Amino acid sequence: MSFYKREINDVKSLETQMHGKDFLLTWDKTDQELRATLAVANILKKMHSDNISAKLFNSGLALSIFRDQSTRTRYSFASATNFLGLTVSDLDEGKSQIAHGETVRETANMISFLTEIIGIRDDMYLGAGNSYMQEVGRALDDGFERGLLNQRPGVINLQCDIDHPTQSMADLLHLKNHFGSLEALKGKKIAMTWAYSPSYGKPLSVPQGIIGLMTRFGMNVVLAHPPGYNLMPECIDIARNNAQKSQGAFMEAHSMEEAFEGADIVYPKSWAPFDIMKQRTELLKAKDGEGLKNLEKKCLEQNAAYQNWECDRKKMNLTKDKKALYMHCLPADISGVSCKAGEVSAEVFEASREDTYREAGYKPFIIASMILLNRFANPSEILENLLKNAQKRVEGI
């Protein structure tokens, strides 16, 4: 059976109710819905490679709201929406009048009259990013119900204070394809560990997203970080519950070494302690520049105590057959390359560079998949039609 047929059958076999539903947290979605997201992303990636058009929209806007810097996610969103026929319009809050007292409810409607999808990155303020996305969603529900909007745009979380679903789902697709299937992930050990970085204030959404997602499919997830570098307690609970349901495991370790022991996959990445992020959120809200400087200084000093949390060859040698799959959402802080001492040694990173690029390459297709599943009630039919028509994406080649 052809690749397409197999994957489309997979989509058909799954019970999903993703049409019209925002994608804000992976744990809001059922296992079957996550499987469908992966399958559709795989199909779209192959279509791109096979020069088959995925243009489902003749016109329509894809709004992006980036409340933090972004290269990869911004580019992935632009790629995904373009592939489907949508056009990005970036709501640059510097160029807009949003600072001038516009409420979320109002803005959400004002930018949605001809909009199909809204992608939001809002990861700076603890307790704010995901709530903001939910608030946007409620405003859109209301606008659509009142007949003010011709369609209710979907909302996709491009990273918030809690989760980073486009990243974690791209990571999961990478694992699925690397190990052959989701089933093959059962019992595999993945070490999500903190790593040293000379920078500060990195969001918690990646480690939280990873432990919240990878515990869904029977993996053995180990979280490790130095004392004080806790994640949000709710996310720990979610991981624990998921592991129980999926007959996997979730454990916490106290060193990178312990976590790496026999691991099939390692994901060493820096983040800021939850408590520091809470203080930072308060200081940012109060616009307390002095306070922020002091906090940064304190935090960097604290980080510096854990410079040995570097993913180096010696630690990699503790992993399964000494060759665990190294993962990173990029950019990594590479010792001696992008900084003096960082998350990963140059040797380890170089050996895995190709893997990390392949991992990143799934994100545009994960986003496209999320959009397709949000906009269309009949995704398998939609894909079958695209494949039947097989319009060329680029003419003459």
Residue 61 φ/ψ, nearest 5 degrees: -100, 150
Binding residues for its own copies, rule CB under 8 A, total 79
390 contributes a contact to its own copies by CB under 8 A: no
97 contributes a contact to its own copies by CB under 8 A: yes
Question: Quick one: which segment of 92-100, 162-170, 210-218, 256-264 binds its own copies (CB under 8 A)?
Answer: 92-100
Question: Quick one: which segment of 6-14, 162-170, 177-185, 387-395 binds its own copies (CB under 8 A)?
Answer: 387-395
Residue 280 φ/ψ, nearest 5 degrees: -60, -40
HEC secondary structure over 264-285: CEEEEECCCCHHHHHHHHHHHH
Cβ-based nearer residue to its own copies, 53 or 241: 53
66 contributes a contact to its own copies by CB under 8 A: yes
Residues in region 183-222 near its own copies by CB under 8 A: 199
CB of 105 to its own copies, least distance (A): 8
100 contributes a contact to its own copies by CB under 8 A: yes
Cβ-based nearer residue to its own copies, 53 or 302: 53
Please give the Cα distance from 45 to 242 (Å, whole number): 29
Under 8 Å between Cβ of 156 and 115:
no
181 contributes a contact to its own copies by CB under 8 A: no
Under 8 Å between Cβ of 366 and 176:
no
What are the tokens at 271?
């983040």
**Omega before residue 233 within 30° of 0, cis:** no
113 contributes a contact to its own copies by CB under 8 A: yes
Question: Quick one: which segment of 50-58, 129-137, 163-171, 248-256 binds its own copies (CB under 8 A)?
Answer: 50-58
Residues in region 345-364 near its own copies by CB under 8 A: 354, 357-358, 360-361, 364
What are the tokens at 318?
């503790």
71 contributes a contact to its own copies by CB under 8 A: yes
CB of 221 to its own copies, least distance (A): 27
Under 8 Å between Cβ of 222 and 177:
no
307 contributes a contact to its own copies by CB under 8 A: no
**Based on the number of CB atoms within 10 Å of its own CB, is 354 exposed (0-12), middle (13-18) or buried (19 or more)?**
exposed
141 contributes a contact to its own copies by CB under 8 A: no
Question: Quick one: which segment of 56-64, 167-175, 184-192, 316-324 binds its own copies (CB under 8 A)?
Answer: 56-64
Please give the Cα distance from 316 to 193 (Å, whole number): 13
Please give the Cα distance from 76 to 256 (Å, whole number): 31
Question: Quick one: which segment of 49-57, 124-132, 238-246, 283-291 binds its own copies (CB under 8 A)?
Answer: 49-57
User: Beta-carbon neighbour count of residue 376 at 10 Å?
Assistant: 17
